[in-house]
Amino acid sequence: MTFLGIIPARYASTRFPGKPLADMFGKTMIQRVYEQVILALDNVTVATDDERIFSAVESFGGKVVMTSSHHKSGTDRCFEAYTKLDKFYDVIVNIQGDEPFIKPSQIQLIKNCFEEKETQIATLIRPFDEKDDFETLFNPNTPKVIINNKQQAVYFSRSVIPYCRGLHHTEWLKNHTYYKHIGLYAYRSEVLKEITVLPPSALEKAESLEQLRWIENGYILKTGITTEETIGIDTPEDLEKALGMFYKTLD
């Protein structure tokens, strides 16, 4: 089975313009992400809509393709990039360009999901810790997911699911395993083509979660359970915190 990693990277961002080019101890963020991904995937390409990012990737020897600036999601950008490469791959792995701490083991975990033939789309989830406070669990910016006994996603929500009846919410994490969604996706290539032409669904519009469109249309989303946390960078403040953590890993 062949895998292609695509890293969507836009320059425009309301909260952090130029984020992929932010400096992380002498290397851009996009280079840090690329170098992590290449440890787990033989074929990796950045998909961007900006000449500055394109040039930056070329300068460190990475592969990059230019895509439209009109895409509404990273999924759409991934598909355009894939079509421009003009080479068949069984599975496309979509890695966010603001995840410089993504671990090769997490990418391997999502690859393993496709050992099951029925898997059409895969993503990662992580259990909340019992020590997390209920504010962390209730945070709407951290989507929750419930899975069936085949470890397939049943539903994603910004609300807390399931509701533990008869228990005060401060006791929920001690009595049930809740899962948070980690935004790493992989798709069989023919499925990626199909989902990019689907219209936005009712649940997707309500929750503002793209993956609900796929569930509503009957696609099977296999989940890999990771115990490792990922650190996304959405703002300059997030970057400062990330640099502090990154500094500790340097020799």
d(CA 110, CA 121): 10
Number of residues assigned to the chain:
251
Query: Could you tell me the CA-to-CA distances from 195 to 77, 115, 121, 187, 200 in Å, in that order?
Result: 12, 21, 10, 10, 10
pLDDT for 244 equals: 85
- Dihedral of the alpha carbons of 143, 147, 117, 79, in degrees to the nearest 10: -10
Q: Cα-flanking dihedrals φ and ψ of residue 173, to 5°?
A: -65, -25
Yes or no: say if 183 and 82 are a contact pair by the CB < 8 Å rule. no
State the helix-helix crossing angle for 104-112 and 29-37, rounded to 10 degrees. 50
In the structure encoding, which two tokens stand for residue 100, read together?
């410089």
**pLDDT score recorded for residue 249:** 62
219 SS3 class: coil
pLDDT-derived band of residue 229, with 50, 70 and 90 as boundaries? Answer: confident
8 A C-beta contact, residue 74 and residue 183: no
* Closest by CA position to 142, among listed 209, 78, 56, 216: 209
CB 51 within 8 A of CB 119: no
- Give start-end residues of each CATH 3.90.550.10 domain in the chain: 1-99, 104-227
Q: Is the pLDDT of residue 250 over 70?
A: no
pLDDT of 9 higher than 80 = yes
> Does residue 196 surpass a pLDDT of 90?
yes
Q: Are 30 and 52 in contact (CB under 8 A)?
A: no
Amino acid found at 72: K
For the stretch 36-62, pLDDT in tens is 999 999 999 999 999 999 999 999 999
Average pLDDT, the chain: 94
CATH 3.90.550.10 for the 1-99 domain, yes or no: yes
- Of the ranges 68-72, 113-117, 215-219, which one carries the lowest mean pLDDT score? 68-72
Residue 251, pLDDT > 90, answer no
CATH fold for the domain made of 104-227: Spore Coat Polysaccharide Biosynthesis Protein SpsA; Chain A (3.90.550)
Determine the number of helices (DSSP H) and then strands (DSSP E) in the chain.
10, 11
Residue 53 has a pLDDT of: 97
> Do 183 and 189 contact (CB within 8 A), yes or no?
no
Ramachandran bin of 18, using left for φ above 0, alpha for ψ from -120 to 50, beta for the remaining angles: left
94-124 pLDDT, tens per residue?
999 999 999 999 999 999 999 999 999 999 9
Tokens of 114: 């496709």
The per-residue pLDDT for range 12-37, each reduced to its tens digit, is: 877 888 999 999 999 999 999 999 99
Are the C-beta atoms of residues 29 and 20 closer than 8 Å to each other?
Answer: yes
The model scores a pTM over 0.85: yes
